[in-house]
Amino acid sequence: MSRHQEFRSVQSTLDEHYYDDDDYEEEEEELSAEDQAAMRQGVADVKAALGVEASKVTTKQIEEALYYYYYDVEKTVHYLLTKFIAPAPPKAAKTTQKAKPPGKHISCLSSRGAPRHLPGTSSAATVMMPSPHESLRLYSPIAIPQFGTATPATAMTRSSISAIFDHMPWGNVPSHRLTVFVEPERPRGGLMGGSGAAPKLTRMQQLAAARKKKVADKKPSSSEDAVDTTRQGIQTLSVEDQPKEKENQILNVSGGFGKRQKLSATQAAGRMPLAELSREERQQDGSSSQHDAMPPSAEQDSTAPEPAPELAPPSAFAQTLFGVGAHEPAPVTTRQFALPYMAYCPSLTDAFSKPSPDDVVLTAQAKAGKKTDAAASSKKKNVGVDAVAHDVKALKVDDAPLPKSKNLNVLSEYEKSKSKKTASFVVVGHVDAGKSTMMGRLLLDLGVVDQRTVDKLRKEAEKIGKSSFALAWVLDQRTEERARGVTIDIATNRFETDSTIFTILDAPGHRDFIPNMIAGASQADFAILVIDAGVGAFESGLKGQTREHSLLIRSMGVARVIVAVNKLDTVDWSKERFDEITHQVTGFLTATGFQSKNVSFVPVSGLTGDNLVRRATDPAASWYQGPTLVDELESSEPTTRALNKPLRMSISEVFKTMPSPTTVSGRIDAGSLQVGDALLVQPSGEKAYVKSMLVDEEPADWAVAGQNAILHLSNIDPIHLRVGDIICDPTHPIQCLDSFTLKALAFDFLMPMPVDVHRGRIHAAGTIEAIPAILDKVTGSVTKKKPKIVKPASVARLVVKLSTKLPLEAGQRVVLRSGGETVAAGLLE
């Protein structure tokens, strides 16, 4: 392909890509009067300048040259001289061919993008000469982009095309006159417009970019190299190079955070950028860097080495990622800013980085034992001694000394002791039956609470319009309970008679608090069932919690119940009313499973105290000459104690006391314990030791089943202790189960269904998974296998699955509730 063909190809490509036919307009109009005048003057001037040589060129040639040089006489003369009058001798054939006026073969672009030729001549046929500026713009490598992206064809031929015009005089423009091309601002968002954000890459471009990034990432020989590279980069980010010592001094005093504060303060004061701040600091130090001293002109000189930019110190995040590096010089550390918690050592990891206190003790004990043997066998070896010394040292640091045990025979101590009997009773009954008032009055009459206290409570109760609840407030001590006038949780108190120490468990009557009532019932030896003798109240109670509570206490193993027929003062101590209630409740209780010999009735008024501690003074009550409530309580024999069984104590409360930050209280259900004993807490599985204890509020060395004890524990964190947990003998631990079989009395229809499982103070979600059998109530033998449903009042064997593991074992009493109702209760098999 000849150069001309090559150029035409390029030209056509450019035309094709950048010019629409619509934009192309032939300028066929005549010269304006102004142009004609300029042309006439130009021709005259050129001819005058050429002198005799003017005869060698035609007027038309002069006009065309003038036109294309915009009437520039000097350029026109130069052109005519070099082209027509005294042309340079041809160098070679090829060059000669090159010297032919290109305008004969090409049409060129004006600055507007249209060919400039003398009006009245054909664009294709007329000699067309691009101005030097136009040729530069067209063929300069930087000129192309202004029209958009060059096609591959133009890119390939661009360099070769520029050579075409090497010989042309208008190509020899002095460098100082060359157009300096400033690349125009690219349209925001690319040629297609858009937001100006990075254009969306195509799938192919994304893949290419990912591949490129992958190759770039692989460049460091190893990951360490990469980290080093990054670290070096971070190091170069440091603002400070010179005033290291001063910086270190500052940090030695205030630490990294102090430095950070200093910087922040300065920045805040001056509102200067970090880079300027750094320079400011250096100047203060009197050690301006070379870079700082450089004048702005020098900084801008392109021949000068690229000045190091003002760099920010590595961010705290970068330092967190890459650290400081042991080999790095101290100044780098001066730019460390303290992050919150950077110096914090998580106690959890530390907690497991060392042996537990128990492990240390056991190891020390084991080694101490071994040491004796080792010393006897080989005294020459001092290794064991060092080990024991180390362990002893560890003991001093980590562990509280273990409580000493007196190694008592607790059961024989209990038998020898002449202490009073102990008994716990739960007070149950329908809401507002008068349970709390009755217990408050009992405590007042027994002298446990003095009259002044009750008067004070009465005044307080009067303020909120609840003066009738003054006695109830002796037990209902919570603000919410007092405000609402209902008991919410079990309230405990204690009193003594001549023969027995009683613990009161005052249960809430409201159906919303049945779980708390169950918790109270699980600790009781017997129960007082309070019935409101008022007209209508008894009847509604029998349908409500009188019935449910009776069922529950029986299911919880309570065999003895004293029925206190209360508020008889409101019915004028009517004997008929009392007899009626006695008759109905006896039938109901015996149907529930209580033996009639274990059920007794006392007509009382909790408000006045009649027949509680003393006999009724109201003459209307003279018809009753039977025992008072306290008499009934004293005559109630507590159930047999499981003294010889493994220790089981359910936790009622966890609290702090002076002798121990970890104190628990509860009733000992089985077994015994003494100070110094090791205990196991389930379900946490944590071990603890009995540091000291109180039994019935008196310091004691031991405690047995049936007693309420307060234990001060050591070597355990309170986090492992919760209300309802079981404290047991580590050698005979209670198991934690998530499935069990229950022999239950149905209070409602039962089938495979979700239930709440209550045992003492703990409860969890569960499901009746299967009903293997219906049992005979008396003999316990199977009457029907795998029933689909269990009717109320039937006894059935149930398989219950729990959502979580609970400390459970055979013989324990469990209550199942569903939809806020008690549906079954029974014994774990």
Ligand X SMILES: Nc1nc2c(ncn2[C@@H]2O[C@H](COP(=O)(O)OP(=O)(O)OP(=O)(O)O)[C@@H](O)[C@H]2O)c(=O)[nH]1
Q: How far apart are the C-alpha atoms of 238 and 261, rounded to whole Å?
A: 18
How far is the C-alpha of 31 from the C-alpha of 64, rounded, in Å?
12
Buried b (16+ CB within 10 A) or exposed e, 348-363: eeeeeeeeebeebbee
The Cα 160–Cα 141 span in angstroms is: 11
Q: How far is the CB of 486 from ligand X (least distance, A)?
A: 3
Nearer to ligand X by Cβ, of 432 and 677: the residue is 432
Beta pairing, strands 813-818 & 821-828: antiparallel
3-state secondary structure of 748: coil
Nearer to ligand X, 43 or 439 (CB): 439
Task: State which of residues 76, 422, 437, 636 lies at the interface with ligand X (CB under 6 A).
Answer: 437
Choose the binding region for ligand X from 218-226, 245-253, 567-575, 753-761 (rule: CB under 6 A). 567-575
State in angstroms the smallest separation of the CB of 633 from ligand X.
18
Residues 93-132 that bind ligand X (CB under 6 A): none
Out of 247, 391, 432, 669, the only residue in the binding site for ligand X (CB under 6 A) is 432
Least separation, in Å, of the C-beta of 552 and ligand X? Answer: 15
Between 238 and 487, name the residue whose CB sits nearer to ligand X. 487
Query: Parallel, antiparallel, or unpaired: how do β-strands 678-682 and 599-603 relate?
Result: unpaired
Q: What does the alpha-carbon distance between residue 69 and residue 262 come to, in Å, rounded to a whole number? A: 69
Site for ligand X in 390-429 (CB under 6 A): 429
Candidates 435, 712, 763, 797; binder of ligand X (CB under 6 A) is 435
What is the C-alpha separation between 722 and 784, in angstroms, rounded? 41
Q: Minimum Å distance from CB 493 to ligand X? A: 13
Q: Report if residue 433 touches ligand X, rule: CB under 6 A.
A: yes
Applying CB under 6 A, which part among 191-199, 431-439, 518-526, 802-810 lies near ligand X? 431-439
- Which residue among 61, 121, 500, 570 contacts ligand X (CB under 6 A)? 570
Binding segment (CB under 6 A) for ligand X, from list 174-182, 275-283, 313-321, 467-475? 467-475
Nearer to ligand X, 439 or 710 (CB): 439
Residue type, 407: N
Residue ranges in 578-607 that form contacts with ligand X under rule CB under 6 A: 605-607
3-state helix, strand, coil in the chain (%, to 5): 40, 20, 40
CA atoms within 13 A on the CB side of 595: 6
Alpha-carbon gap, residue 546 to 565, rounded angstroms? 12
β-bridge pairing 813-818 and 754-759: antiparallel
**Which residue number, 279 or 511, has a Cβ lying nearer to ligand X?**
511
Burial of 369 (0-12, 13-18, 19+ CB in 10 A): exposed
Shortest reach from residue 487's CB to ligand X, in Å: 3
Among 109, 472, 501, 633, binds ligand X (CB under 6 A): 472
How many residues touch ligand X under the rule CB under 6 A: the total is 23
Contact call for residues 461 and 469 (beta carbons, < 8 A): yes
Would you count residue 577 as binding ligand X (CB under 6 A)?
Answer: no
When binding is defined by CB under 6 A, the residue of 63, 247, 569, 632 that contacts ligand X is 569
Residue 609 touching ligand X (CB under 6 A)? no
Q: Which is nearer to ligand X, 76 or 605 (CB)?
A: 605
Q: How far apart are CA 427 and CA 509, in angstroms?
A: 9
Interaction of residue 489 with ligand X, rule CB under 6 A: no
SS3 208: helix
Q: Cα dist. 162→69, 158, 159, 428, 489 in Å? A: 21, 7, 5, 111, 101
* Closest of 765, 763, 680 to residue 723, by C-alpha: 763
**Least gap, CB of 495 to ligand X (angstroms):** 17
Least distance (Å) from ligand X to the CB of residue 561? 16
How near is the Cβ of 604 to ligand X at its closest, in Å?
7
Q: Measured from the CB of residue 546, what is the shortest distance to ligand X in angstroms?
A: 11
Q: How far is the CB of 471 from ligand X (least distance, A)?
A: 7
Task: Please classify residue 612 by burial: count the beta carbons closer than 10 Å to its beta carbon, then call 0-12 exposed, 13-18 middle and 19+ buried.
Answer: buried
User: Looking at beta carbons only, is 621 or 680 nearer to ligand X?
Assistant: 621
**Minimum distance, C-beta of residue 504 to ligand X, in the bound complex (Å):** 12
Please pick, from the candidates 469, 573, 578, 689, the single residue that binds ligand X as defined by CB under 6 A. 469
Cα–Cα distances (Å) from 448 to 420, 482, 566, 699, in that order, read: 17, 21, 22, 20
What is the x/- site pattern for ligand X, positions 144-163, by CB under 6 A? Answer: --------------------
Phi, psi of 602 (to 5 degrees): -130, 125
The Cα-based distances of 437 to 61, 442, 454, 468, 773 in angstroms read 132, 8, 11, 9, 45
Instruction: Single out the residue of 487, 492, 652, 822 in contact with ligand X (rule: CB under 6 A).
Output: 487
Q: How far is the CB of 489 from ligand X (least distance, A)?
A: 10
List the one residue from 431, 524, 773, 824 that touches ligand X (CB under 6 A): 431
Instruction: Pick out residues in 506-565 that bind ligand X (CB under 6 A).
Output: 508-510
The C-alpha atoms of residue 407 and residue 817 are separated, in whole angstroms, by: 44
Judged by DSSP in three states, 802 sits in: strand
> Using the 8-state DSSP alphabet, how is residue 420 labeled?
P
CB of 436 to ligand X, least distance (A): 3
Interface map 242-281 toward ligand X (x if CB under 6 A): ----------------------------------------
Closer residue to ligand X (CB): 227 or 542: 542
Q: Among residues 472 and 771, whose Cβ is nearest to ligand X?
A: 472
Decide: helix, strand or coil at residue 602: strand
Contact (Cβ atoms closer than 8 angstroms) between residue 410 and residue 417: no
Minimum Å distance from CB 398 to ligand X? Answer: 48
Examine residue 434 and tell whether it contacts ligand X (CB under 6 A).
yes
567 contacts ligand X (rule: CB under 6 A): yes
Please say whether the beta carbons of 777 and 741 come within 8 A. no
- Tell me the residue number closest to ligand X, measured at CB: 509
Smallest separation (angstroms) from ligand X to the CB of 516:
11
Cα gap 548→530, rounded to integer Å: 13
Q: Is 468 a residue that touches ligand X (CB under 6 A)?
A: yes
Binding site for ligand X (CB under 6 A): 429, 431-437, 468-469, 472, 486-487, 508-510, 566-567, 569-570, 605-607
